[in-house]
């Protein structure tokens, strides 16, 4: 008797550990969680840190400029700015007394805090990557920057 159906070959899925994305996520989650815990001791979230660092680099910026720099929606950026204002780390000034155009700046407390938080970021990097040595670390950064450029990634990681 002839078989009525063809035998099917089962495709076996590749192992989870065979995927580069798995390892990137694995490392990223660990690096982020440790940094998040360090920031929490200063009552700052990762998203707030990214905003503070962007404002520190610019010295003064517009609300729209921060939205562009962070790749956030207007609403999300407004929430972050409001939280930072409540913590007296950021001040929001209105241009020409109107409410439409805003200029953002770090307060003295914000300007004092950013270098402290940057040191935590450096220490976190060292904790995870110092064993690679400078050459491998720089190569890893270059490879990741190449991926960002190739895929035209715009949104800054804030979560």
Extract the tokens encoding 96: 């020409």
Give 79-121 pLDDT, tens digit per residue. Answer: 999 999 999 999 988 777 666 677 899 999 999 999 999 999 9
Question: What local confidence, expressed as pLDDT, does residue 99 receive?
Answer: 63
60 touches 105 (CB < 8 A): yes
Question: What local confidence, expressed as pLDDT, does residue 4 receive?
Answer: 64
Question: What local confidence, expressed as pLDDT, does residue 88 receive?
Answer: 98
Nearest to 52 by CA among 105, 103, 101: 105
Give 11-34 pLDDT, tens digit per residue. Answer: 999 999 999 999 999 999 999 999
35 touches 123 (CB < 8 A): no
Question: What local confidence, expressed as pLDDT, does residue 81 receive?
Answer: 92
Residue position matching structure tokens 């009552």 = 43
Question: What local confidence, expressed as pLDDT, does residue 77 receive?
Answer: 87
Residue 62 parent element (H or E) = strand 60-62
Instruction: Give CA–CA dist 157/29, Å, rounded.
Output: 12
Enumerate the β-bridge partners of residue 92.
104
Average pLDDT over residues 128-137: 97
Give 37-75 pLDDT, tens digit per residue. Answer: 999 999 999 999 999 999 998 877 888 888 887 888 888
Instruction: Give CA–CA dist 9/155, Å, rounded.
Output: 42
Question: What local confidence, expressed as pLDDT, does residue 94 receive?
Answer: 77
Distance of CA 67 to the CA centre of its chain: 14
3-state DSSP assignment of residue 103: strand
Residue 65, classified by CB atoms within 10 Å of its CB into exposed (0-12), middle (13-18) or buried (19+), is middle
Residue position matching structure tokens 């110092």 = 130
Beta-carbon contacts of residue 91 (< 8 Å; ≥ 6 apart): 85, 104, 105, 106, 107
Question: Per-residue pLDDT for 2 more than 70?
Answer: no
3-state DSSP assignment of residue 90: strand
Q: Give all domains of the chain, ordered by start, each with its CATH number.
A: 21-150 (1.10.10.10)
Question: What local confidence, expressed as pLDDT, does residue 6 receive?
Answer: 65
């Amino acid at each position: 008797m002839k078989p009525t159906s063809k035998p099917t070959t089962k495709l076996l899925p590749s192992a989870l550990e065979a995927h580069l994305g798995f390892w990137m996520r694995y490392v990223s989650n660990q690096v982020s969680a440790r940094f998040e815990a360090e920031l929490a001791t200063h009552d700052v979230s990762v998203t707030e840190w990214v905003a503070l660092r962007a404002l520190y680099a610019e010295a003064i910026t517009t609300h729209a400029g921060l939205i562009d720099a962070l790749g956030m929606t207007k609403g999300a950026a407004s929430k972050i700015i409001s939280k930072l204002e409540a913590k007296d780390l950021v001040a929001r000034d209105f241009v020409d007394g109107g409410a439409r155009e805003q200029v953002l700046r770090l307060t003295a407390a914000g300007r004092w805090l950013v270098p402290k938080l940057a040191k935590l970021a450096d220490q976190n990097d060292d904790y995870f990557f110092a064993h690679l040595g400078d050459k491998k670390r720089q190569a890893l950064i270059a490879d990741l920057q190449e991926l960002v450029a190739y895929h035209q990634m715009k949104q800054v990681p804030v979560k």
